[in-house]
Amino acid sequence: MKEIVVISGKGGTGKTSIVASLAALAENAVLADCDVDAADLHLLLTPTIRRREEFRCGHEAIIRQADCIGCGACLARCRFGAVLRRGDGGAGESEFEINSTACEGCGVCVWACPVKAIDFPERPSGEWYVSDTRHGPMVHARLVPGGENSGKLVSKVRDVARTLAVERKTDLVLVDGPPGVGCAVIASVSGASLVLVVTEPTLSGAHDMARVLELTRHFSIPTTVCVNKWDLNADMAGRIESEARKAGATIAGRVGYDRAVTAAQLKGLSVVETDAGPLGKDIQAVWEDLRP
């Protein structure tokens, strides 16, 4: 089984649009959307959810009002402004509550409470799903606003996708990864068979691609690069490809700029599912370079 992870050094390079097209070209693949902080592959694949599971990560403090003696020990020790005082009474007369948004889950208030009136349960942080799409099964997820530890959720999505691929005797897992070089990206690429970096012919695209290539080189992951919208700046596209080769990556091909992408997205389709002309051939060439 081969696992191809598509990432980018920055947002807006067209990574998800290309993943959707690759999903349409793949004949036998399990799909995974690991961009859990801002998932959008579902917008093009319109999944039907078959399984839904809660994701919990970290802890949050909750004061049991019936047991609280109003001493203010939690307020005095919280460094995140998460403990709120209700009422103007002094010690033993005020009521306190936890602002769940501000709570960092450090547990100091739990330790400080003299009567152990603060619970410390796991925090619900999002959900993950197994869905059916017109191009095969997809595992994806959603973090709640402010949800923490996207790296752990990414690992869960990948694990479920791999298990599903084994069960279905599928030879490819195609992953839409997040942009950047943070923990979610590391969780997306660790142990992958191949990483495809989608970049754009701009200075910021070149800079951020270099950071991603440094990351994949550190983990010794085979990496290839695709310059999307290359014809907007052919000189910069050539420079990016040259720098990518120097960094040890290969070149998967180029994809030109075409408004057909937007037209297809308005229909909820990937561009290769429409009459895309030269653009479809560009993406087909990238797929031929990647396919198992």
Average pLDDT by consecutive 10-residue portion of the chain (292 residues)? 95 94 93 93 95 94 95 95 81 82 94 97 94 97 82 95 95 96 94 97 96 96 97 97 97 94 92 86 94 80
> Residue 145 has what pLDDT?
80
Q: Are strands 122-133 and 136-143 parallel, antiparallel or unpaired?
A: antiparallel
Q: Which helix (H) or strand (E) holds 117?
A: none
DSSP state of 167: H
> Residue 88 has what pLDDT?
66
Beta bridge partners of 119: 62
> Residue 190 has what pLDDT?
94
> Residue 93 has what pLDDT?
66
DSSP code string of 122-148: EEEEEEEEEEEETTEEEEEEEEPTT--
Query: What domains are there in the chain, each with its CATH number?
Result: 2-57+126-290 (3.40.50.300), 61-120 (3.30.70.20)
How far apart CA 97 and CA 288 sit, in angstroms, is: 58
As given in the structure block, the two tokens for residue 20 are 């959707």
Q: pTM of whole model > 0.85?
A: yes
